[in-house]
Structure 1
């Protein structure tokens, strides 16, 4: 038996044996298990295995951090040894849902909707960052780069168009993912989302400045012809309604007539309900949520920054951080920028710094190596190896990162740092920040590099002396 096979066998034993595995799959870095009884897991034995870089439980799933590339080989060997059939992520999600309470189910639903579209949004954020460099004044010269070198103006224009596409047609992306999650046809979800931002509708971003709002007259009822660009809630609720109508009709209508009747009726009914009720109601709710969040940070930015900057990493442990992606997108759609996401980027850097500091404290060569690699990963926006593999294992490192993140969050909140988009949440994060806020954001970066590093070394020294 090879070393890899032996270690995979050790992983199986540590999570309670093959009989404890209801379903298993993997993502880019982690094995994901739906276990019959998580109480049977021997975490100490599990995390002593060389292949394992950490483990945690979230949303009813037990996840084992292995690392990019290696995880695929480990998973195949695990399937071979246990006889568990290769499962999709949906299979594992369904198997793990029975362990969730209603709040966890709601959070998980939001995560299932937004995680699939995150790559498109992050890509758009990076491209907008490049556009910011080309068009922002005061970065390289007093004027914008495209004014000094006009030949780059059209390149910047194309980059801006490509970058903005994901945000202009955001309801289309959400519609596809949400309808798929709710059990409907993803294609109808795309059509629904694009319908809500149709060019014939008054653009939501011009709603406040419009002198006259165009309307439809539907049987004596006046309905505003308003689009929902940049809005999250209208398409989420409309997607749920569409999915339920479609599923109902597919059960009711014979197979021979489904192609002719199901999609047209579903879209027509959902469309009418969306423009008459769902859209206006959720648009108002979205504005209330936006005003409330903005109001808190306007009245007490230092308190808001301390709380969100400090709590983001603990929220990641629970999975609740996914709910704030919807808030970020709502803020971007309503106000043109979000002050929450910059704190996410700094929180990730803080976790990476704490893990890096542990390299100077630890003597175990495996953990020292893990500290370095996980720090690099966190600096590039992926914090799981640092958080679950190093910092949470040595709680003082995790606490140090939280303190640094809270201080930096308070500082950039006072300075009003905003991002026009969501990008890579680590060192490259500055690309997604408004150029006029770069100075303050860089100071925030210095805080989350220096404070967690110094505190981790200090707490580590105190711990040794005890």
Structure 2
């Protein structure tokens, strides 16, 4: 393996060393902040033996190399291009300069939610195990495993407690990530988030019943009645409050002498943000969150087939643009408000469909490198990571990507009609059934079968037609 030659070829293919603003790498990919992505010769780039695919996302041009090799290629590339080793944050900062306001907003959401995603997915998987233990009809007709074997009851209870922690204290996680992203102190973000779910507050999940009974506790603040309500599972209140806290903290740090910052900055920032959160931010954003919930539930209740069809078809293109990050807060809001999300199961259908289309390409392609990439990226997609399949295979052969969209749309329509919901977010692939309510496993598995069979068959038949016409290399 000639790393020097490969690094030189990569530099030439991305427009030469003068086109590289900065570069770094992650576990599998080189990440470039290029001055002009129009100078990239994608075709020549992907002919290089070490390159398994390339794509542009969030202002970064990323080249898939593979684990264990990418760091060696990067070191050689940096030496040849005469660039200093950069951090991921350096690349993000450089790439952010080229984003429009919408892209920056989406990137901000991604920067906030991606760091806490492992905790949410882990919680979803553990809740799935609890569902298996407590769901009736899985092991015994009309009874759960815990009903028949009570000795497993406390075991399931502890699992449920561990799993629920991330959702109960979700504002604490979001507060940490959001305040960090907005330039404030992470510790203050955690305190802010936990403050919004303090045990002295009425639990947000009991707000509806308390309102119906006219029994919502209140504070009397100089004649102003403020509802004494927590924001468990809510996303918008802590997002907005985190932004306000970070701005206040940064302002205070710029005005208060260093000697007094420890005594004054945090108390003043938290005090002001706390009052604003309970008086203005919380009530307004809670209402907006309810509107968002009502909008999506209204669409999917009124025309479930159309809603599932459209979201199933468009989820993969949303991933390409990075806009899929905007739907994670919606999923969390739906889980908090209604007890489950009907959007996340469609995500699973889309991921599995992309993997199936990539798998079909393995049987169509003659190039050994692309055949290998097809099978490995298909396995990755079946486990919830679709970027290698989409950017390395399916988008390269557009009919494969379209076939996956069709399969995902049909599967999404089917599971939505059958009201499949997930009370938690888990792994967006074949293990995703663990996050589905057990009563809906049957339609979910049928939907998954559709998302496997349709893209597999459609991609293969479409590819065979193109091969006969000489349009498939």
Determine helix, strand or coil for the equivalent of 1:417.
coil
Contact 2:351/2:385 (8 A) holds in 1: yes
Alignment of 1:197-236 (within 5 A): 197-210=197-210, 211=213, 212-236=215-239
Alignment of 1:200-349 (within 5 A): 200-210=200-210, 211=213, 212-349=215-352
Determine helix, strand or coil for the equivalent of 1:160.
helix
Q: 1:320-355 CA deviation, whole Å, 9 max, x = no partner?
A: 000001100110111110000001011110000000
- Counterpart CA distance in 2 for 1:112 and 1:404 is 30
Shift of 1:28: 3.4
Residue 398 (structure 1) aligns with: 401
Give the RMSD, CA atoms, in angstroms: 1.1
Alignment of 1:47-58 (within 5 A): 47-58=46-57
Residue 44 (structure 1) aligns with: 43
Shift of 1:288: 0.3
Contact 2:55/2:391 (8 A) holds in 1: yes
Determine helix, strand or coil for the equivalent of 1:31.
strand
Query: Quick check: 249-258 or 141-150, which moved more?
Result: 141-150
Alignment of 1:11-160 (within 5 A): 11-142=10-141, 143-160=143-160
Determine helix, strand or coil for the equivalent of 1:201.
coil
- Counterpart CA distance in 1 for 2:278 and 2:69 is 49
Contact 2:3/2:72 (8 A) holds in 1: no
Residue 172 (structure 1) aligns with: 172
Shift of 1:49: 1.2
- Counterpart CA distance in 1 for 2:446 and 2:136 is 20
Determine helix, strand or coil for the equivalent of 1:227.
coil
Query: Quick check: 65-74 or 50-59, which moved more?
Result: 65-74
Q: 1:39-73 CA deviation, whole Å, 9 max, x = no partner?
A: 11110111111221211112111111223343333
Residue 362 (structure 2) aligns with: 359
Shift of 1:14: 1.0
Query: Quick check: 178-187 or 137-146, which moved more?
Result: 137-146
Contact 1:65/1:384 (8 A) holds in 2: no
- Counterpart CA distance in 2 for 1:183 and 1:214 is 34
Query: Quick check: 83-92 or 200-209, which moved more?
Result: 83-92
- Counterpart CA distance in 1 for 2:115 and 2:310 is 28
- Counterpart CA distance in 2 for 1:11 and 1:382 is 25
Contact 2:7/2:73 (8 A) holds in 1: yes
Determine helix, strand or coil for the equivalent of 1:360.
helix
Residue 184 (structure 2) aligns with: 184
Q: Which ranges of 4 or more aligned residues in structure 1 deviate by more than 6 Å?
A: none
Shift of 1:452: 0.3
- Counterpart CA distance in 1 for 2:60 and 2:147 is 53
Q: 1:206-262 CA deviation, whole Å, 9 max, x = no partner?
A: 001113111111122111110000100000000000000000000000000000000
Shift of 1:24: 2.0
Residue 449 (structure 2) aligns with: 446
- Counterpart CA distance in 1 for 2:414 and 2:380 is 25
Q: 1:282-340 CA deviation, whole Å, 9 max, x = no partner?
A: 00000000000000000000000010000000000100000001100110111110000
- Counterpart CA distance in 2 for 1:400 and 1:256 is 63
- Counterpart CA distance in 2 for 1:146 and 1:30 is 46
Determine helix, strand or coil for the equivalent of 1:314.
helix
- Counterpart CA distance in 2 for 1:407 and 1:422 is 22
Q: 1:265-289 CA deviation, whole Å, 9 max, x = no partner?
A: 0000000000000000000000000
Structure 2 CA distance for partners of 1:73 and 1:156, relative to 1, 3 Å: farther
Shift of 1:30: 2.2
Query: Quick check: 74-83 or 297-306, which moved more?
Result: 74-83
- Counterpart CA distance in 2 for 1:234 and 1:243 is 14
Shift of 1:8: 2.2
What TM-score, normalized to structure 1? 0.98
Query: Quick check: 15-24 or 312-321, which moved more?
Result: 15-24
